[in-house]
Structure 1
């Protein structure tokens, strides 16, 4: 994304907290996120399970209410009226990771793809819209699939039906949550190629939510790495994956087959409880740089343990929220 490119979607200081029963501390699932998705751009949001990436995606889709911060579309703050949200949800569509669960087994392919059109009152030329969407998703001739049911399709075909359901509304943005995680390896490449082709043909912007940096390597223009509710590193894909600045990114990247040059890093422990986010760098309890004594040698261990890092600004530049020399963030927030 070039600095002057108009943003299709942006979040500013986005926060989402969940409070349990009683007077316990709130769990900060999203704890201040600035993120930009440019027009025609593919951004991969990467992190372990429980890091907050799905909650962030749901909030961007207006399926989850934020505690603070804003979602902006074309530079304008997203409205909260029913009319504004309905118009927004037509423009921003979700593709789920489990096509079997996303499709009603009692509905035909035609009904599944037409459902969104009917919800939004777009019934004029419905059959033509459904056929066009199926064709764009690679199910040709589309009429051959109209009366088939999900159980009659392969996993890849079911995912294409889900994608067709999103395309039927002619969206500007697609949020794809683990779009290939449930598919066989032989089909994964086909679906990724389809998403790339749709970007080229339709000018779509895609936010791809995944735990797999290998997937990001193959599809994304930029990568944002999330840990414990915050983006800890982001930047152009080639640059970030060739020269990761954050120890967490290095650990995730070390198990990607394409990066044989990196020594495998095994992280100890689990991500901390989001109701008790550690002081200083939130990654320091699991950080290999701290555990190995390297942080002490560099004179940054006290900062790692006690000096908070700011929210990474949304930009196309490569930056990391880390006290290591050479990262973009080393000041208190």
Structure 2
């Protein structure tokens, strides 16, 4: 996994939406590099409104980039209808709300078989549906064929959605908050299912979440996103046990198992149509507000010097003047 070339690669991706009534354009994704290798699970973490879902949708061709490109299996994504149809057999989306993803008038069988019918499957449809349901943990699968969504629990509905993605035998799952609408008792089961699918099928996955605890439990690597850009990335253990960016530190500080006082961020994230100069986090940064950035001699850079886009190679990286200054002045290990 560490040496294989990325199955999915995002390069300098930007997605801008036109403003309304003369307002500036919204820079929803403002320069992202990201790679996902075969069999790797990457967690994309950040607050609501930071651009996570827009980025995830762009990976499936649902939103066309303003600039940059998405590459899958070495080939740039083709946005023609025919090419996207073929691509979506290899890359599937799992949404947050299973109730909204399932037609209440369709049985479980029809919901799972829908993808096969769209893509003109020529094999044994019943066997394929049964296998997908079984892989998703609904056994015996025949017991669920004629049930309707309202007859299932929330966890069972999410398993049906996952089965509907698995039936096409994809190589990549993009899961947008896959357990956010589920009871705590069911979340662990769905996360365990995703991990088992990675082991059994070699699936790659991008899991979009605001929950760093979820990232810790499922991901190999984490990318922390703020205001349209990834600000810290690396192996999940490295980022979540020794966060370098003040934003990552703040997100981790409010977890129940965190030690010390929680970091309270001031205000809401800035308007993505008016991204601040310098570090985009500086207007809410407790390190800058507390004088630590000034003591490190980077307070002016924080307010006025933009940081480059982090690479998508997978190595540990941080977009923070203060964090880099600390590392530059840290004594070398003997």
Same fold (TM over 0.5): yes
Alpha-carbon deviations, 1:180-228, whole Å to 9, x = none?
0111111000000000000000000010000000000000000000000
Inter-CA distance 234–132: structure 2 relative to 1 (3 Å threshold): same
The residue aligned with 2:248 is 249
The residue aligned with 2:161 is 162
Q: 2:298 aligns with which of 287, 297, 300?
A: 300
The residue aligned with 2:4 is 5
The residue aligned with 2:48 is 49
Deviation at 1:79, TM superposition (A): 1.6
How many residue pairs get matched?
Answer: 328
Q: Does 1:134 align with 2:133?
A: yes
Conserved? CA contact 1:319–1:329, under 8 Å: no
* In 1: Cα distance, 2:327 partner to 2:260 partner: 24
The residue aligned with 1:33 is 32
Tell me the secondary structure at the aligned position of residue 32 of structure 1: strand
Conserved? CA contact 2:277–2:306, under 8 Å: yes
The residue aligned with 2:286 is 288
Note the residue ranges of structure 1 that are not aligned, 5 or more in a row.
Answer: none
Alpha-carbon deviations, 1:260-280, whole Å to 9, x = none?
224310101110011110000
Inter-CA distance 162–328: structure 2 relative to 1 (3 Å threshold): farther
TM-score, with length taken from structure 1 = 0.96
Q: How does 1:8-27 map to 2 (within 5 A)?
A: 8-27=7-26
Deviation at 1:20, TM superposition (A): 2.4
Q: 2:259 aligns with which of 252, 261, 279?
A: 261
The residue aligned with 2:196 is 197
* In 2: Cα distance, 1:211 partner to 1:38 partner: 22
Tell me the secondary structure at the aligned position of residue 7 of structure 2: strand
* In 2: Cα distance, 1:83 partner to 1:98 partner: 28
Note the residue ranges of structure 2 that are not aligned, 5 or more in a row.
Answer: 329-334
The residue aligned with 1:152 is 151
Deviation at 1:105, TM superposition (A): 0.5
Alpha-carbon deviations, 1:147-206, whole Å to 9, x = none?
000011011100000000000000000000000011111100000000000000000001
Deviation at 1:80, TM superposition (A): 2.2
Alpha-carbon deviations, 1:102-151, whole Å to 9, x = none?
11100000000001111111143111110000000000010000000001
TM-score, with length taken from structure 2 = 0.96
* In 2: Cα distance, 1:306 partner to 1:145 partner: 58
* In 2: Cα distance, 1:227 partner to 1:72 partner: 23
Worse-superposed segment, 139-148 or 80-89:
80-89
The residue aligned with 1:315 is 313
* In 1: Cα distance, 2:256 partner to 2:8 partner: 32
The residue aligned with 2:58 is 59
Tell me the secondary structure at the aligned position of residue 159 of structure 1: helix
Inter-CA distance 297–214: structure 2 relative to 1 (3 Å threshold): same
Q: Does 1:107 align with 2:106?
A: yes
Aligned CA-pair RMSD: 1.4
* In 1: Cα distance, 2:184 partner to 2:252 partner: 19
* In 2: Cα distance, 1:262 partner to 1:223 partner: 23
Conserved? CA contact 1:309–1:329, under 8 Å: no
The residue aligned with 2:115 is 116
Tell me the secondary structure at the aligned position of residue 321 of structure 2: coil
